[in-house]
Every structure is written in C-alpha cells, then in structure tokens.
C-alpha cells in the first residue's frame, strides 16, 4: 500500500516536471482556464448570468 502511494506521488511529480519542461506556464494556464473570468456588464460592471444581458440595458 505504501509503495503504491509513493509510486503515485512520483508519477504526479514526474507529470508536473515534464509538463513544465515541455510547456512552461501551461499548467498555470490550465488551472486558470478551469476558473474562467465571469463576464461582467461593460456599463455597470455587474456579473452577467445567461445570454440575456444586463438589466441596465433593458430600462
């Protein structure tokens, strides 16, 4: 069991090192892609949900 855990850790570290060596910064970009910047209204800055737009444009 412990051997398996150590092996898994080594694999994870190796993947991180190889990823960094092949494309530096790509890991950070991937993490950032998972947290996309929420679209905000250009007029009032409120967060937009869906595609209907902001309330400030309707009135």
Q: Choose one: 8-16, 20-28, 29-37, 38-46; the region binding Zn ion (CB under 5 A).
A: 38-46
Bridge partners for 56 per DSSP: none
Query: What gap in Å lies between CA 6 and CA 12, rounded to an integer?
Result: 10
CB of 56 to Zn ion, least distance (A): 3
Member of 43, 47, 49, 58 binding Zn ion (CB under 5 A): 43
Nearby residues of 26 by Cβ (< 8 Å), 6 or more positions away: 19
Binding window for Zn ion (CB under 5 A); candidates: 8-16, 24-32, 35-43: 35-43
Q: Which is nearer to Zn ion, 25 or 50 (CB)?
A: 50
């Amino acid at each position: 069991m412990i051997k398996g855990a150590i092996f898994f850790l080594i694999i994870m570290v190796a993947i991180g090192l190889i990823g960094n060596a092949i494309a530096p910064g790509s890991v950070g970009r991937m993490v950032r892609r998972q947290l996309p910047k929420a679209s905000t209204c250009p007029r009032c800055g409120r967060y937009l949900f869906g595609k209907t737009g902001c309330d400030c444009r309707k009135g």
